[in-house]
Amino acid sequence: MLLKILPSLLLALALSACVGPRVMPELPANGVELTDTPFHPQERYQCGPAALATVLQKAGVDTSPDALVNQVWLPDRQGSLQLELVAATRRHERVAYVIAPELRSLLAEVQAGRPVLVMQNLGTSWYPVWHFAVVIGFEPERGRILLRSGTTERQGMSLRRFLRSWELAESWAMVALPADELPADPDRRRYLAALADLESTGRPVLAASGYRAWLAQAPQDALALFGLANSHLALDEPEAAEEVLLRLLEVRPGDAAASNNLARLLLTRGCATAARRVLAKIAEPVPPGLQEAVSATRTLAADSADAACQQDQGAR
The domain locations on the chain are 31-177, 188-305
The fold for domain 31-177 equals Cathepsin B; Chain A (3.90.70)
pLDDT tens per residue across span 61-89: 999 988 888 777 655 554 467 888 999 99
DSSP 86: H
* Digit-coded pLDDT (tens) for 258-293: 999 999 999 998 999 999 999 999 999 999 999 999
Is pLDDT of 106 > 90?
Answer: yes
- Give the percent of the chain with pLDDT over 90: 73
> Which tens digits make up the pLDDT trace of 109-160?
999 999 999 999 999 989 988 899 999 999 999 999 999 999 999 999 999 9
Do domains 31-177 and 188-305 share one topology? The answer is no
Contact 102, 15 (CB under 8 A): no
C-alpha 26/C-alpha 159 separation (Å) is: 9
What is the C-alpha separation between 154 and 132, in angstroms, rounded?
14
CA separation for the pair 263, 273 (Å, rounded): 10
Cα–Cα nearest to 60, from 180, 169, 141: 180
> Going along 266-315, which residue ranges are E strands?
none
Say which CATH class 188-305 falls into. Answer: mainly alpha
Q: How far apart are CA 136 and CA 222, in angstroms?
A: 35
Are 214 and 182 a contacting pair, CB within 8 Å? Answer: yes
pLDDT-wise least confident of 31-45, 131-145, 237-251 = 31-45
Angstrom CA distances, 316 to 175, 246, 247, 306, stand at 41, 8, 11, 17
